[in-house]
């Protein structure tokens, strides 16, 4: 008997290779998954201008990175065609009353300074299309954009309001896949948490954020479908070295442990050199 509904993940037109360049922009869910990639030695940039929750703010990050001249701190990263993960959290935005500008962070300023609005499906499509066009201008058909919708619910909107917000984002991504079929894919993190991991044990104590166990499961599903054979082989070889480096000894100053650590670092370096 099957006691869970496994979410089908369509195979993308590309695969993630070992030590790949990746950019993660979006909600705190992007922070969690991006950090997981960092731990596995991928060359990753995560939310370089802070966590972004809505489509407009996500595009603001892409604009700062790619147009007209990106910041010098990202020149090395931008030297290769990236795979970009964009995680959308909400369609709610805050406009500064004095300028009408959508702000990325209210910076704890008084609420009276802002107007809260909800982007429509078309608004989300328009903002995100402009971001994708910017990427295509720079990378042409070499760029790949993977959208995810954060499974974190927004209790402050009410749970019905939170679902409406997520539905708006999902409809927008569906439309973007039709407009940009060669470079836009969707990874169903939202559906995995809501439909496959339907149990409160997969949530943190606030019952809103996915637990580390849930994030790890999403990572495993991502590896299963999106990673190349070489990337999976790299992870297999890296795991024992990673565990050795994370080992907490009783006597870290001992000669034996220092030799153990040096050996592990040497193995790490040799592994990286083989896959570079």
Task: Write out pLDDT tens, residues 196-221.
Answer: 998 888 888 988 888 999 999 999 99
Task: Give me the chain's average pLDDT, please.
Answer: 91
Report d(CA 268, CA 239) in Å as an integer.
10
- Using CA atoms, how far apart are residues 178 and 132, in angstroms rounded to an integer? 13
Say yes or no: 238 and 173 in one domain. no
Q: What is the dihedral of CA 32, 35, 37, 41, to 10 degrees?
A: -170
Q: Which residue do the tokens 């070499």 mark?
A: 142
Q: Which two tokens stand for residue 39?
A: 């731990």
54: left (phi over 0), alpha (psi -120 to 50) or beta: beta
CB 148 within 8 A of CB 88: yes
* CATH number, domain with residue 151: 3.40.50.1110
Give residue 249's pLDDT band: very low, low, confident or very high (50, 70, 90): confident
Q: Are residues 218 and 242 in the same domain?
A: no
For residues 257 and 238, membership in a common domain is answered with yes
User: Looking at the structure, do residues 167 and 257 belong to the same domain, yes or no?
Assistant: no
Asked whether residue 181 carries a pLDDT value surpassing 80, the answer given is: yes
- Residue-level pLDDT at 199: 86
Rounded Cα distance between 259 and 276, Å, is 26
Tell me how many domains the chain contains.
2
Q: Is residue 1 pLDDT above 80, yes or no?
A: no
Decide which of 58 and 77 is more confident: 58
Specify whether 64 is located in the same domain as 133: yes
| Secondary structure (3-state) at 234 | helix
Model-wide pTM > 0.75: yes
- In tens, the pLDDT along 12-45 reads 999 999 999 999 999 988 999 999 999 999 999 9
- Percent of the chain topping pLDDT 70: 95
208 C-beta neighbours (distance < 10 Å), count: 14
Read off the pLDDT of residues 38-68 as tens digits, 9 standing for 90 and up: 999 999 999 999 999 999 999 999 999 987 6
Residue 10 lies in a domain: no
Let me know whether 247 and 213 are in one domain.
Answer: no
pLDDT of residue 68: 67
Asked whether residue 75 falls in the same domain as residue 47, the answer is yes
Residues 273 and 195 in one domain: no
Percent of the chain clearing pLDDT 90 (strictly above): 73
Residue 8 lies in a domain: no
Instruction: Please give the pLDDT value at position 207.
Output: 87
- Within-domain flag for 90: yes
Do residues 91 and 169 touch, judged by C-beta distance below 8 A?
yes
In a domain, 6, yes or no: no
Instruction: Evaluate whether residue 113 is within a structural domain.
Output: yes
Residue 81 reports pLDDT greater than 60: yes
Please report which confidence band the pLDDT of residue 76 belongs to, taking 50, 70 and 90 as the band edges. very low
Residue 250 pLDDT more than 50? yes
With respect to residue 13, please indicate whether it lies within any of the assigned structural domains.
Answer: no
Is pLDDT of 175 > 80?
Answer: yes
Q: Domain check: are 41 and 117 in the same one? A: yes
Residues 91 and 132 in one domain: yes
Domain containing 266 equals: 230-276
């Amino acid at each position: 008997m099957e006691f869970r509904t496994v979410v089908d993940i369509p195979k993308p037109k590309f695969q993630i290779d070992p030590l790949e360049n990746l950019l993660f922009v979006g909600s705190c869910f992007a922070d969690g998954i991006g950090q997981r990639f960092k731990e596995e030695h991928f060359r990753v940039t995560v939310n370089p201008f802070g966590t972004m929750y809505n489509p407009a703010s996500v595009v603001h990050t892409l604009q700062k990175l790619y147009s007209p001249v990106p910041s010098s701190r990202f020149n090395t990263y931008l030297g290769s065609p990236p795979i970009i993960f964009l995680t959308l959290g909400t369609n709610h935005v805050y406009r500064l009353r004095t300028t009408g500008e959508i702000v990325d962070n209210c910076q704890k300023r008084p609420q009276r300074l802002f107007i809260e609005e909800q982007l429509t499906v078309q608004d989300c499509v328009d903002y995100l299309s402009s971001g994708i066009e910017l990427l295509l201008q720079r990378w042409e058909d070499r760029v790949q954009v993977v959208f995810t919708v954060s499974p974190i619910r927004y209790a402050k909107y009410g749970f019905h309001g939170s679902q409406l917000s997520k539905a708006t984002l999902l409809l927008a991504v569906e439309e973007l896949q039709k407009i940009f079929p060669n470079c836009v894919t969707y990874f169903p993190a939202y559906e995995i948490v809501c439909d496959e991991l339907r149990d409160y044990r997969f949530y943190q104590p606030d019952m809103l954020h996915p637990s580390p166990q849930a994030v790890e499961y999403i990572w495993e599903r991502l590896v299963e479908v999106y990673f190349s054979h070489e990337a999976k082989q790299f992870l297999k070889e890296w795991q024992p070295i990673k565990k050795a480096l994370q080992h907490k000894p009783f006597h870290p100053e001992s000669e034996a442990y220092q030799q153990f650590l040096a050996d592990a670092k040497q193995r790490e370096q040799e592994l990286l050199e083989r896959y570079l």
